[in-house]
Structure 1
Amino acid sequence: MSNYLASLRSLNPGRAVDLKETLLKAHSKTAATGSSTACVVSLEGDRLCYANVGDSGFMVFRGKRLVYRSSTQQNYFNRPFSLGNWAGEGKRPVSVFLGEFDVEQGDVVVAGSDGVFDNLFGSEIEEILQESDGEPWPQDLAWSIATVASMNSVSQEYDSPFAIAAESEGIEHVGGKIDDITAIVAVIELDQP
């Protein structure tokens, strides 16, 4: 992501961002061994544009109700597409999924790593949003979402999204899924004509 930010800073102000090109450029400059999923979004007018690799992603909430969720790309269950460098193999070709979604003033965008979405249903994030008083504060919402996902990840009694998905694949998994948990929340503010 630091390479992605550097690529963004090198663009001329006001120029539309080619999310896929920028993501692949950042990936090409990454020297660390290992892999990661990625999800990047930009707002162009009233369109939320995104590039996604793997099982990181985002959800859009309107009126505190889920209206959109980005899709997951995986080779097979719990093996998401990823960006990375593999020891002795170098970089592999990357499949980047591109998409757009019409957003409205006040929509809440919750972006996160798979640790968020493996441990929280959209309906649970709706509940967190509904518990917030008045206008949502992105930082407070992100902390609340990450905290609940973290608590669910270590629960042996919670019937997590990951556990349900595992069961549908014939794999036994009880409780949450301990994993990285990153949550970012933004509230859409559109330029009014």
Structure 2
Amino acid sequence: MRQRASAMQRPDLPGVALEAFQAVREKSLEGSCTLLLGQLQQDVVSLLNLGDCGIMALRPCSILPRFHGGTVTTSMRLLYRSSPMLHRANMPLQLSSQDPDISSLTEHFDLVTLKLRRGDVLIAGTDGLFDNIGDLEIKSLALAHHERRTAGGVNSTQELATVLLERAAEVARAPMEFGPGGKLDDIAVVLAEVQDASPVSPAGLLSNLVDA
């Protein structure tokens, strides 16, 4: 009988990747992929990355005026930005069904934990997002999203994700005469914004959080 694990049990994202690798091998599926896994426990998110997908964690912060009576402004501070892992240009590290074991993952992956608070924004995406939009522009778009929400405008995380997707697609199709040109590629975005605490689910979504 499977028992529910403690809500604060330490996540094992490498173990999740190993389970997926073994399942693929058992079903004789073929292919390879980069990996970007994340799990939120209370106010701490764990992130595992292998390859050239990416994730940014941004935090709204107030900038005080230099002089008394000035206007307080808001900025988006970069908490974390993953680094792409490549064999060479356009050849990212991947986990393949043809690998003899899981060593291609365990020898190279990045595993980090971040302590989050209300208002933090996590932007994850494939290289089609980050190769076409620079970090400064992503921060600017996230700040505009935050300011609209703060002002009471209807602006959901879905809307920000759509803005990022459309902007990346626009740059990807830009002709060379207007600059270095974009990179046509698959573009996927997963976006989350930290809200007030809610009750913890009694069972984890990942199988490694459930004892056999």
TM-score by length of 2: 0.69
Which of 37, 41, 47 is equivalent to 1:50?
A: 47
Q: How many residues align?
A: 167
> RMSD value over aligned CA atoms?
2.5
Residue 127 in 1 paired to residue 121 in 2?
no
Residue 12 in 1 paired to residue 18 in 2?
no
- Deviation (angstroms), 1:21: 0.6
1:112 aligned partner: 125
Unmatched 5+ residue regions in structure 2? 61-74, 199-212
1:140 aligned partner: 159
1:21-100 to 2 correspondences below 5 Å: 21-30=15-24, 31-63=28-60, 65-67=76-78, 68-86=80-98, 93-95=103-105, 96-100=109-113
Report % sequence identity.
Answer: 28
Tell whether the 8 Å contact from 1:115 to 1:178 is kept in structure 2 after alignment: yes
| Aligned AA (1:185) | L
In structure 2, distance between residues paired with 1:120 and 1:61: 16
1:176 aligned partner: 182
Residues 55-64 or 91-100, more deviating:
91-100
Tell whether the 8 Å contact from 1:153 to 1:179 is kept in structure 2 after alignment: yes
Tell whether the 8 Å contact from 1:40 to 1:52 is kept in structure 2 after alignment: yes
The CA deviation string for residues 88-107 of structure 1, in whole angstroms up to 9 with x for no partner, is: x6666322221122322110
- SS of the residue corresponding to residue 119 of structure 2 reads coil
- Deviation (angstroms), 1:190: 5.1
Unmatched 5+ residue regions in structure 1? 1-9, 160-173
Q: 1:56 to 1:34 in 2, by over 3 A?
A: same
2:191 aligned partner: 185
